[in-house]
């Protein structure tokens, strides 16, 4: 076991990990941040997505040790400072971009990463960017709509309001 430290959602944290401990397991089991979900074992569903040093990563594919010293943002760190829903979170609620909620943390993290580099994405860009996040419930319609809405674009013309 090795002691590691990092910043998670703005707070300094530390814990004991094995060499094989994944960042996802460190967040969930060690820190109790259970909003980061595990949906697969081949690094393809994106339910575990977090930001590490500003980059979107799949936390099931990062060793906790490799994240030592870094800054992690997980879904628990995405609300506004006053606890209210962020623009992205509010758009997902407003446009029914989630059903069971299991993929949702990863979707929110992926959306935040996209809008940071591409503040006004096209529909095609949104769909392409979300390719690494699987949702089984929504058929993506309302997720894509929510992302476009979160970017400040008018979504009223999108079919089936």
CA-atom Rg of the chain in angstroms: 16
Near ligand FES by CB under 6 A: residue from 8, 25, 112, 135? 135
- What character string, x for contact with another protein (CB under 8 A) and - otherwise, covers 51-90? -----------------------xxx-xx-----x---x-
Residue 30 contacts which entry, ligand FES, another protein, none (Cβ below 5-8 A, type-dependent): none
H/E run at residue 30: none
Q: Which range touches ligand FES (CB under 6 A), out of 3-11, 70-78, 94-102, 123-131?
A: 94-102
Question: In angstroms, rounded to a whole number, what is the distance separating the alpha carbons of residues 125 and 131?
Answer: 10
Applying CB under 8 A, does 98 fall inside the site for another protein? yes
Pull the structure tokens for residue 47: 């339910």
Residue 57 contacts which entry, ligand FES, another protein, none (Cβ below 5-8 A, type-dependent): none
What 3-state class would DSSP assign to 91? helix
Torsion sign (Cα): 132, 138, 144, 150: negative
Question: In angstroms, rounded to a whole number, what is the distance separating the alpha carbons of residues 75 and 112?
Answer: 10
∠68-134-158 over CA atoms, to 5°? 120
State in Å, rounded, how far the first CA of the chain is from the last one: 52
Near another protein by CB under 8 A: residue from 13, 15, 38, 65? 38
Contacting residues toward another protein, per CB under 8 A? 18, 20, 28, 33-42, 44-45, 47, 74-76, 78-79, 85, 89, 92-94, 96, 98-105, 108, 123-124, 126-128, 130-131, 133-145, 158-160
Contacting residues toward ligand FES, per CB under 6 A? 38-40, 43-48, 58, 60, 98-104, 135-138
């Amino acid at each position: 076991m090795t002691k590691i430290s990092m910043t998670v959602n703005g707070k300094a944290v530390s814990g004991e990990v094995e060499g094989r401990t994944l960042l996802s397991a460190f967040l969930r089991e060690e820190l109790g941040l259970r909003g980061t979900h595990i949906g697969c074992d081949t690094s393809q569903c994106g339910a575990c997505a977090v930001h590490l040093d500003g980059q979107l990563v799949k936390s099931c594919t990062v060793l906790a040790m490799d994240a030592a010293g870094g800054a992690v943002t997980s879904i628990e760190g995405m609300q506004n400072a006053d606890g209210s829903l962020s623009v992205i979170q509010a758009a997902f609620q407003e446009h029914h971009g989630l059903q069971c909620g299991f993929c949702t943390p990863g979707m929110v993290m992926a959306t935040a990463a996209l809008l940071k580099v591409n503040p006004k994405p096209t529909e095609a860009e949104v769909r392409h960017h979300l390719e690494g996040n699987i949702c089984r419930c929504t058929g993506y319609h309302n997720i894509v709509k929510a992302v476009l809405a979160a970017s400040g674009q008018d979504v009223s013309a999108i079919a089936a309001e």
